[in-house]
Structure 1
Amino acid sequence: MHTAGAQHPPAATVVDASPGPGGPVRGLLAASHAAPSIAVTAVITALAAASGRGVAGSVLVASAVLAGQLSVGWCNDRIDLRRDLATGRGDKPLVAGTVRPRVVAVAAGCALALCVPLSLAGGLAAGAAHLVGVAAAWSYNLRLKCTAMSWLPYAVAFGLLPAFVTLALPGHPWPAGWVMAAGALLGTGAHVTNVLPDIDDDLRTGIRGLPQRLGPRRARVLAGVLLLAGAIVLVLGPTGPLGTVGWGSLAVTGVLALAVALPTGADPRSRLPFLATLALVALDTALLLLRGAALT
C-alpha cells in the first residue's frame, strides 16, 4: 500500500507472539473494526428488508455484507501492523499481542472466501456489484490509502451497496441515481472522519491519502460538506413532499455535519467525528425508511 515515493516505516519491536490476557477471540474481534462493520451491515440489511427482500433474502444480505466488512477490517489491521508498531499504537490488538498476525490474516482470507458465495447467492448481478465494492475496499488497504485517490474505494464501495439490494429484486433494477450518489458521498465522508485521529501518525509512516494531504482542519471541513451533501441528496432525492420527517432529517443531520466540520478543542485523536458520522448515516437511513422512499 505504498506509493512510489512513500517512506517505509522504520523497523520496530516484533509483536509479542503470545496472546494477551483478553484472549485471541477478543483480539480478533477488536481487529475486525466491529463498530463500523456492524453499522454498515445493519443499514444495508434494513434497506433490504424495506425493499421486499423478505426474511431469507435480508439474512443473506446481512451475512454477505458482514463477511465482506470483516474481511476488510482484518486485512486493514494485518497490513498496517508495521506502521502501527512504528507509531506505538498500543490500542491495536496486533500491537498489544492479543492476537497473532497469522490468525488475523487467515481470518481475513476466510471471510473474503465466504463473502463470494454469499454475495452470488442473491444473483450474479447483485453479487458482482457487492464483490466489486469489496474489491475496492481491499484496494484501499493494499495500495490506494497511500495516494490522493484514497477516497475512490469508499465512493465505489458505498455507492454500490444499494445495488446489492436492488439487483436481486424481480427485474434486477439498478437503484436510483440519487441513492448511489448519497452512498458515495456518505462513504467518502466516513473515510475522512475515520482517518482524522491518525493523520499525524500516517504522515510519519508514509500514508498520504487525500485527508492527510489536506491536513486536519481542511479535512474536517471536507468531511462536514460531504456528509451534509449526502444527507441532502437522501432527503431531496425521493419524489413527494418533504414533510416533517424530511425537514427534521435535514435539521438534525445538518447539526451533526457541523459538529464534524468544526474543531471542538477536544483530543485530536478523538473518534467522536467518526462516531457522529455513523450516527448521521443511521439516522438518515431510518428517516428515509420512515418516508417509505423506494430505492429504485
Structure 2
Amino acid sequence: MASTSSDGPAVDGDTRRSWRHWTPLLLLRASHPRLGLISALGLAGAAALSGRPTREVGMVLATVLAGQAILGWQNDLVDRHRDAADGRDDKPIGQGLLAPGDATFAMACAALAVVPLAVSHGVWAGLSYLGSLVIGLIGNVFLRNGWLSWLTWAASYGLYPAFLAYGGWAGEGRTRPPEFSVPVLAALLGVCVHVLVSLPGLVRDHEHGVRHLPLRLGLRIGAARLLWATILVTALVLAGLLATGAQVGLRQ
C-alpha cells in the first residue's frame, strides 16, 4: 500500500511538470504576455474611442497581439545567454525549457500572420504598423544597451497613431494623417513604457554593464524616485492623449 500511495504523487508531479513544460505554454510565457496584452488592449481601446466599428477594433487587437508576440520572442532569444547566467525562472528559453528553434519557428509563423493582418487595415496603416514592428525588432538588437535606448521605443510608439488614423476595414484605409500632437505624445508614452519595463531589471542590467537611459536615470535620482516620476509623466501623457482626442480627434 505504501508503494502504491508513493507512486500516485510521483505521477501527479510528472503530470504537473508536463503541463508546465508544454510548448504552447512556454511560448506564451516567452512572448512577454502582460506587455503584449496591455499594448494590444491599449491600441484597441484607442481605436474604439476614435469611433472605429467593433470589427475594426478586433482587427487592431489581433494585429497588435501577433506583433507583440514576435517582439517578446525575439527579446528572449537575444537575451537567452544572459537570462541563463542570471538563473531567471521566468524565461523559458534561458532556462533551456524552450528550444531557440521553436521560438524562431513561432516568430516566423507569427510574421506570416501579422503581415496580412497589418495590410488588411490599408496600405498606409499596414506600413505604419509594420514599420513600428521593424523598429522594435531593431531596438531589441541595437541601441538598447546605450543611452539611445529610448529612441526605438519613441519611434515605434510614434507610428501607432498613423496605424490607427489610416486604418480601415478590408484594406479600405483612410487618407487623413493623425494630428501632429498625437504622434508626439505617443512617442513620449513609448519612452515612459521603456522606463517602466526596465525598472525591475536595473540591478541585473547594472551587473552586466548595461548603460541604457533608465539605468542612467536610476543611478542619478534613485529607482524609487524614477518610478514615481515615470508614473506621473505617464499619467500626464495619457491625459494629454485623451484631451487631444476629445478636442481635435485622431486625424487632421
Task: Return the TM-score normalized by structure 1.
Answer: 0.69
Structure 1 unmatched ranges of 5 or more: 1-19, 241-292
Please, which of 163, 166, 183 is the counterpart of residue 180 of structure 1? 183
Q: Within the alignment, does 1:208 sit opposite 2:207 as a pair?
A: no
CA contact (8 A) 2:40 2:61 kept: yes
Name the counterpart of 2:134: 135
Name the counterpart of 1:58: 57
Shift of 1:225: 5.0
Cα distance per residue 1:55-93 (max 9 Å; x no partner) = 332222222111111100111011100111122212212
Aligned length: 225
- Higher RCO, 1 or 2 (CA under 8 Å, sep at least 6)? 1
1:26-65 to 2 correspondences below 5 Å: 26-65=25-64
Cα distance per residue 1:75-128 (max 9 Å; x no partner) = 101110011112221221223333222111221232223211211111111111
CA contact (8 A) 1:140 1:150 kept: yes
CA contact (8 A) 2:50 2:245 kept: no
Which one-letter code corresponds to 1:64 in the other structure? Answer: T
Q: Within the alignment, does 1:294 sit opposite 2:249 as a pair?
A: yes
Partners in 2 of 1:47 and 1:221 — Cα distance? 25
Cα distance per residue 1:187-216 (max 9 Å; x no partner) = 211110111111121122242211122235
Residues 1:91 and 1:119: Cα distance change in structure 2 (over 3 Å): same
CA contact (8 A) 2:79 2:94 kept: no
CA contact (8 A) 2:50 2:250 kept: yes
Partners in 2 of 1:88 and 1:146 — Cα distance? 20
Name the counterpart of 1:82: 81
Name the counterpart of 1:101: 100
Q: Within the alignment, does 1:234 sit opposite 2:237 as a pair?
A: no
Name the counterpart of 1:224: 231
Residues 1:234 and 1:56: Cα distance change in structure 2 (over 3 Å): closer
Residues 1:238 and 1:65: Cα distance change in structure 2 (over 3 Å): closer
**Aligned-residue RMSD, C-alpha:** 2.2
Shift of 1:238: 4.4
Name the counterpart of 2:199: 196
Partners in 2 of 1:157 and 1:52 — Cα distance? 23
Residues 1:202 and 1:50: Cα distance change in structure 2 (over 3 Å): same
Cα distance per residue 1:113-154 (max 9 Å; x no partner) = 321121111111111111111011111111121121111111
Partners in 2 of 1:239 and 1:30 — Cα distance? 37
Name the counterpart of 1:119: 118
Structure 2 unmatched ranges of 5 or more: 1-16
Shift of 1:221: 5.5
Structure number with bigger Rg: 2
Partners in 2 of 1:30 and 1:133 — Cα distance? 23
Partners in 1 of 2:88 and 2:153 — Cα distance? 24
Which one-letter code corresponds to 1:99 in the other structure? Answer: L
Helix, strand or coil: the match of 1:144?
coil
Cα distance per residue 1:234-285 (max 9 Å; x no partner) = 2543465xxxxxxxxxxxxxxxxxxxxxxxxxxxxxxxxxxxxxxxxxxxxx
Cα distance per residue 1:5-41 (max 9 Å; x no partner) = xxxxxxxxxxxxxxx6312221111101111111111
Partners in 2 of 1:105 and 1:199 — Cα distance? 27
Task: Return the TM-score normalized by structure 2.
Answer: 0.80
Partners in 1 of 2:86 and 2:97 — Cα distance? 18
Quick one: percent identity of the two aligned structures? 32
